[in-house]
Copies of this chain bind each other. A is one copy, B any other.
């Protein structure tokens, strides 16, 4: 019997969408205002989902305080109030689209959470644009 547990977190960051292999014109054409030279930014909302059995001793799938601390240490503190393109290793060469950020966060958390738990990451760039990645 499996049940899913979810924990919501958030971080605020600057970013810019840009492909260094393209001309400035092509970048502007494809990424529009998201290509703005001097960056723009978002309040990112993150929802992390773990699926697994309920531990009969605790009644928990996973201790939410542990999950909260894991997300804070490895995701929020790493990306909050940062420029994703300039201040992080992950996005120095990877375009920080919501899709790519979600995959990066999934990979970071996948290493920290035992494989018996299925992991899904949902990332809201705005309340109108969001993505979800389950590692499949």
> How many chain-A residues does the 8 Å CB contact rule pick out?
63
- Does A113 count as interface, using CB distance less than 8 angstroms? no
Q: Identify the A interface with B (CB < 8 A).
A: 1-10, 12-15, 17, 19, 21-22, 30-34, 36, 38-43, 54, 57-61, 63-65, 80-83, 86-87, 94-100, 102-103, 126-133, 136
B133 touches A82 (CB 8 A): no
Docked Cα-Cα span, A82 to B16, in Å, equals: 10
Docked Cα-Cα span, A98 to B5, in Å, equals: 9
Residues from chain B with a CB closer than 8 A to the CB of A43 are 41-43, 126-127
A83/B40 contact (C-beta < 8 A), A61-B131, A97-B60, A99-B60 known: yes
